[in-house]
Amino acid sequence: MASSSANIVGVHYKVGKKIGEGSFGIIFEGINIFNNQQVAIKFEPRKCDAPQLRDEYRSYRILNNSKGIPKAYFFGQEGVHNILIIDLLGPSLEDLFDWCNRKFSVKTVIQVAKQMISRVEEIHEHNLIYRDIKPDNFLIGKPGTPEANQIYVVDFGMAKQYRDPKSKVHIPYRDKKALSGTARYMSINTHLGTEQLRRDDLESLGHVFMYFLRGALPWQGLKAPTNKQKYEKIGLKKQTTSINDLCYGYPIQFAQYLTYVRNLKFDETPDYNYLIGLMDKAMSSIGLEEDAHYDWMDLNNGRGWDAALNKKANLHGYGNPHPPQQRQQRQQAQHSPFQNPQSSNNRNSSSSKLVQYQKNVKKTRSKSLSIGNYNSIPQDAGGQFNPYNGPQAYRNGNHQQSGMIPVRDDGDLHSDTSSFNERRKNRSCLSRIFCCI
C-alpha cells in the first residue's frame, strides 16, 4: 500500500469507510486529498479467478462524458489489489426499492424506465452491450446535487463489444453460450444459450420494470438441487409465463414493451424512441404527468431517503449486489486492503409463498376486474392477447386503445437474487472486448 498509515491510494485518494462488497471485491468511500472530491474506490485481489476492474475501466473510458455514466479517475495496482476510482453516487434502485417497502408506484416506474432505457441506448450507441441488467447496478446521484435523482449505470465488468466501432460489423450469431448475467432478470434467449445482444439488455429492463411494479417476479423462489437446475427452472418459468400474466394489472404499454423487445431479430436495431414513447403513453393512461418526483422522495416525512434513518443499506452499491459466499469471504479477508470488512446480510426469501401466489392467480384470473375508468386489456378476434402492433402503427396512431390489465394480489413474495457470477467461463470474450482501443 502506498501509505498504510494514511490509507492513501492512487497517489492522492484517501480511503474511508466501506460502502459495498460483492463476490469480486470491496468498495470504499474515498476523498481526493487535493480538492476534497468524494469518490468510490473499488478493490479486487489481483490473483482472483476473474479480474474485471480493467475491463470496467475501459468501458468507462469508452463512455466518457455520457449522461448517467460515472467518471473514472484512476485504475492501477496497489499492493496485491487492483483498484478503480470513480464518482461517488447515491444508493442503488434496489436499496431504494427496499426502503419503499418493495413496491414502486406506476408513476415512479415509468419515470425510472425512461431514464433506464436512455442509459442503455447510450451504451449501445457506443458499441457495447451491458449483459447484466439489474436494479443493483443502477444508482441515483449524490443527494443535494442537481443530479440527485438522475439514474447512473455502474459495474461494466460483464460488458461486451457487439460490433466493430468503425465498420459497425455485427458479431455473428452463436448459440450454446455459457450463461452470463443475473438469472432473475436475464432474457429468455440468454437462458437458451443464444449470444446476447441489444434486444437482451432491453428485455432484462422489462423484467426489472415488472419487478418494481409487482414487488416480485413469478420465477422468484424456485427451488432445485443445483444452481444449474435452478436456472433451468427459472428459464422454463419465464417461457411459460405469458406477457399477459406477467403484466396483469398494469398499463398495457408494459406488455407492449416486452412484446416488442422479445420479437426483435438478432442484430436488429431497437427503436428506443418507440419504447420511451410507450412510457409516455403509460403515464397518460393513468392520468398523470411526469414531474421528476419519485417515491423515495417521500420517505421520512418528505425529507427523502436517508441511510441513517432508513433500514441499513444492503451494501449493494457500485454493481456488487451479491454478498460473497463464506469461502469467498474468507478469501477476501485474507486479501482485504484494510481490517474492517463486514459482510452484508443476505435478504431473507419468502419462496414458500409461491404456491399460495399461484393459487391466488387462478382465483383472480377467473374474475373480470376493471380498474377505475380503464378498459381491460384488448384482445384480438380469437380472444388472444395482442398488445403490440409495431412502432409504425404506434406513430400513425393505429395502436390499440390504452388500457389496464386487471390487477391481482401477488402477495408479499420475496426471494433470493440468483446470479451467474461464474465469470471465468466468459473471460475469453471479455479479453477481446476492447481489442480496438
Which residues are identified as catalytic?
Answer: 132
Q: Who contacts 336 (Cβ-Cβ below 8 Å, separation ≥6)? A: 26
**In terms of DSSP H, where are the helices of 286-376?**
299-302, 326-335, 354-365
- The annotation status of 176 as a binding-site residue, yes or no, is no
Sign of the Cα pseudo-torsion (365, 369, 374, 379, in order): positive
**Angle (CA) 323 329 335, round 5°:** 125
| C-alpha distances in Å from residue 151, one per residue of 58, 162, 215, 235 | 21, 24, 20, 29
Instruction: State how far the Cα of 200 lies from the Cα of 376, in Å rounded to an integer.
Output: 29
Instruction: State how far the Cα of 162 lies from the Cα of 146, in Å rounded to an integer.
Output: 33
| Residue whose C-alpha is closest to residue 152's, from 161, 162, 142, 144 | 142
Residue 312: Cβ within 10 Å count = 11
Burial 140-155 (b: 16+ CB within 10 A, else e): bbeeeeebebbbbbbb
Q: Who contacts 258 (Cβ-Cβ below 8 Å, separation ≥6)? A: 203, 206, 210, 243, 246, 247
Residue with cell string 469507510: 17
The annotation places the binding site for ATP at: 42
